[in-house]
């Protein structure tokens, strides 16, 4: 479980004053992803704008996702918060709804100390649902250090980590060096390291990683799946070629804050996107032209 290509799905919003969730659009997007062979989906992550969803919306997005997926692939629901009590509430709800596991971001803004991080993740794992930790210091302001990950990996319900520390300058070990160490030091555990950055998925697979929780797979799921499956089949050169083919898209997804760009890309492809919710605003005209040029290269 939790191996392969898992799109971090967007939460499409309607173009009305309230920016209501477009649940019909969410279903259409999920059907598109399933048709293209993705191995799982992740609702209510940072790409799903979880920080701006109400508790009721959060639960309904997960419930809608589970209903549309209908057991075809695993659903890894985002339930993180910088408030442990809120994370517990969201995690209990995801478990009750039938999610296969939860993706939990390291608490943002608070910058908890080591013991606080251990207690936070342990409290959630003790709810008896598989937990994948999420290390993204570019959003949290704090790297989840190797020794903390290795200790938490011993918990039977903490089954993996989504690693997106590449580019973080706060630690000499962040990024691919850190990822390599985590894989090295958890080889005796039933623990998976999953790429949280499309651009380093191929090297993470080469180190023994399990797959990717992907932004780009919302837009071009089939070649992302093909890259993973070619790698697993031992066709390393073909997988690497697909990595380089997809790299312009990987870069384009971050010409503005995620998920601003991916939502616009999905609209341009005729999928449900809609505007982001404030404080995020839509992609401007100049960046939209750059995005259109990249997307056209894949047509």
Catalytic residue IDs: 134, 162
Q: Name the strand (E) or helix (H) holding 296.
A: helix 285-296
Closest by CA to 29, choosing from 288, 269, 283, is: 269
Structure tokens at 225: 């799946």
Contact 60, 21 (CB under 8 A): yes
d(C-alpha 180, C-alpha 177), whole Å:
5
Burial of 257 (0-12, 13-18, 19+ CB in 10 A): middle
- Residues near 30 by beta carbon (within 8 Å), at least 6 away in sequence: 9, 41, 65, 68, 69
Structure tokens at 224: 């992302």
Angle between helices 285-296 and 260-268 (to 10 degrees): 60
Burial of 89 (0-12, 13-18, 19+ CB in 10 A): middle
């Amino acid at each position: 479980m939790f191996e392969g290509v898992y799109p971090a799905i967007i939460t499409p919003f309607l173009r009305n004053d309230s920016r209501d969730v477009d649940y019909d659009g969410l279903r259409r997007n999920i059907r598109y992803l399933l048709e293209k062979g993705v191995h799982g989906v992740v609702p209510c992550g940072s790409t799903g704008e979880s920080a701006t969803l109400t508790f009721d919306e959060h639960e309904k997005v997960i419930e809608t996702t589970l209903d549309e997926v209908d057991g075809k692939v695993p659903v890894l629901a985002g339930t993180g918060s910088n408030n442990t009590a809120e994370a517990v509430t969201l995690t209990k709800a995801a478990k009750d709804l039938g999610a296969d596991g939860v993706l939990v971001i390291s608490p943002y803004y608070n910058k908890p100390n080591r013991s606080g991080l251990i207690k936070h993740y342990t409290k959630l794992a003790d709810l008896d649902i598989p937990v994948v930790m999420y290390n993204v210091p570019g959003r949290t302001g704090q790297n989840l250090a190797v020794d903390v990950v290795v200790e938490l990996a011993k918990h039977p319900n903490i089954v993996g980590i989504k690693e997106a520390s590449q580019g973080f300058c706060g630690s000499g070990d962040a990024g691919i060096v850190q990822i390599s160490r985590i894989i090295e030091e958890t080889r005796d555990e039933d623990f998976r390291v999953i790429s949280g950055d499309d651009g380093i998925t191929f090297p993470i697979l080469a180190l023994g990683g399990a797959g990717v929780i992907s932004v780009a797979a919302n837009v071009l799921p089939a070649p992302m799946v093909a890259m993973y499956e070619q790698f697993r089949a031992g066709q390393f050169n073909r997988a690497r070629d697909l990595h380089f083919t997809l790299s312009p898209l990987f870069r384009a997804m971050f010409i503005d804050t995620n998920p601003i760009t991916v939502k616009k890309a999905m609209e341009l492809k005729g999928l449900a996107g809609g505007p982001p919710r404030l404080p995020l605003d839509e992609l401007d005209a100049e960046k939209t032209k750059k995005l259109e040029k990249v997307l056209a290269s894949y047509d």
